[in-house]
Structure 1
Amino acid sequence: MKKVIVMVALVMMGMFAYATNDGAKVSQTGKVANSGEVIAMNKAMFINNVFDFQQKAAAWKYKGTKPAIIDLYADWCGPCRQTAPIMKELAKEYAGKIVIYKVNVDKEKELAALFNATSIPLFVYIPLNGEPQMMRGAADKATFKRAIDEFLLK
């Protein structure tokens, strides 16, 4: 009976992971494959792919294999809707080089609090090594490209 329950739970978790990442490919290790798309992220994906903030770790340690941007947004936010197409374009342009995630602050309140997202949009730039940097507010594509090229890919 326990095996049946475990199998059902695993299938349900897999379906949930697929539904919450807009179809982004997730490997058997739980890592997100970079598909050139903006990936919707929930708390479980953040813990698995970015940083396990629930551990008693003393320092930030990024888990990813490519630099990342996290776009904290809300559906009702005008500037967030303005930057969403830019993020999609950048995900395609930088496919294989960076990963772009999006986090809905209304659905993922714990992640919003983690980054102190008191105003949105909020963009978190995560290099492979070093501390993440945040950029508040909307910007044009050239500004995002400059940040990617000069901070994430330098």
Structure 2
Amino acid sequence: MTDSSTAEALALDDKLCLALYTASRAMTARYREPLSTLGLTYPQYLVMMLLWEDGASSVGQIGSRLSLESSTLSPLLKRLETMGLVSRTRDTEDERSVIVGLTRSGRTLQRRSAGVSTEICDATGLSMQQQDELVEQLRTLATTLLSTRH
């Protein structure tokens, strides 16, 4: 563990929080160009990737998996529905739950988006092993931060 007085003494450029923030913004910005050809924003792309991977999912499942609040997710899903990429229907077993599924256009978009992940992975300059290790470190960090909230 880091000594708290040492952490406070670090210059801004050496703080983990700034490095994570800057890297996150750079990653999102790097996605902008390839996603613009698909007509998607980065958060919309994350939802579409989840649906391509998992199939139809409840709004709650999507929000939980992507760490998005319903106030962010609802307008995002409405926009995807307006674009004709997803459908939203009430769960027949629990009317409080809304199920989001892919439309034919949404499934077609998956084929069109095939090169995006590869392009971004290549752009990082990291090997697959380095990317896997970094992902695991970031997951551990997120879990630790969420478990130590007061």
Q: Fold conserved (TM > 0.5)?
A: no
- The alignment's TM-score, normalised by the length of structure 2, stands at 0.29
Q: Which has the higher contact order (CA 8 A, sep 6+)?
A: 1
Which has the greater radius of gyration?
2
User: Greater strand percent: which structure?
Assistant: 1
